[in-house]
Amino acid sequence: MLALNSLETDKMQTSKRISCGLWVVVAMLFPTPSVRASAQLREVSSQRTSSLDSHDHLLLLYNTHTGERIDIVYRRGDAYIPDALAKLDFFLRDHRTGDVRHFDPRLYDILSDLTASVGRPGGEIYIVCGYRTSSTNESLRAHTAGVAKNSLHIQAEAIDLRMPGIDTLKLRKAALALARGGVGYYPHSDFIHLDVGRVRQWCFDCPANFSSTPRPASSHPSVGKPVCPTQGFIAELFTRMANRLGPNVL
């Protein structure tokens, strides 16, 4: 009886595998428009990356304020390319005043790794904000909510961004998983803030029931559990405090 059940189970699993296989073949023969579009995007991205040296780190950025676009290799192996960094500094200038400041290049590594994390290595990033002079930051603070007094944008250590075609919540989760600095989420303005400060997170103007700690990608019970039982609690407590106080203290 046990053997029969086992045989039946095997048959069912084989049937499921065949059924799934047929769907894959059908999907490949008759892709939907969205599947075709995403496949084309991946193709363009892979063409760009395959034409480069495997040691090249590249960025494709679009500035939402100036309309400028830059497609640049900023690092080769472990060496940053000074000329490329200078071009990126100018690209990320305070567009209100024209002031330029040298950016911490670790931010570019985070951006590059982020595009890979969401399945678009070298994919286009929309820059919502780069460098801010102190005067621009004060002006923004006076007219806009959610701007920090000592924002790391003033130090050229922070960037606000989104990626076309990528859900910003997914982008936030990927950035949090990298754990390389601060990650702010601004759902109403549809962007995330990234910086090279200490690892922390906040969500600006999120609903009270918003889960500040994303679930791990895998449902395996051992994945994402804090090493120390109190570690998760303390992290959550800090996050709740940060969310309550807002980014002005971060």
Q: Give the footprint of Zn ion on this chain (CB under 5 A).
A: 158, 160, 193
Beta carbon nearer to Zn ion, 123 or 130: 130
Residue whose tokens read 């051992």: 222
For the bound state, the minimum distance from the C-beta of residue 25 to Zn ion, rounded and expressed in Å, comes to 46
For the bound state, the minimum distance from the C-beta of residue 95 to Zn ion, rounded and expressed in Å, comes to 14
Beta carbon nearer to Zn ion, 58 or 192: 192
Beta carbon nearer to Zn ion, 58 or 88: 88
Nearest residue to Zn ion, using CB?
A: 193
First to last CA, the chain: 64
Q: Give the pair of three-digit tokens for residue 154.
A: 């003033």
10-36 CB burial, b ≥16 within 10 A, e <16: eeeeeeeeeeeeeeeeeeeeeeeeeee
Beta 191-195 vs 182-186: how paired, if at all? antiparallel
For the bound state, the minimum distance from the C-beta of residue 191 to Zn ion, rounded and expressed in Å, comes to 8
d(C-alpha 2, C-alpha 5), whole Å = 5
Beta carbon nearer to Zn ion, 105 or 181: 181
For the bound state, the minimum distance from the C-beta of residue 171 to Zn ion, rounded and expressed in Å, comes to 14
SS (H, E, C) 95-136: CCCCCCCCCCCHHHHHHHHHHHHCCCCCCEEEEEECCCCHHH
For the bound state, the minimum distance from the C-beta of residue 75 to Zn ion, rounded and expressed in Å, comes to 23
Beta carbon nearer to Zn ion, 58 or 175: 175
For the bound state, the minimum distance from the C-beta of residue 247 to Zn ion, rounded and expressed in Å, comes to 8
Beta carbon nearer to Zn ion, 148 or 166: 148
Strand partners, 73: 58
Nearest alpha carbon to residue 94 among 65, 52, 125: 65
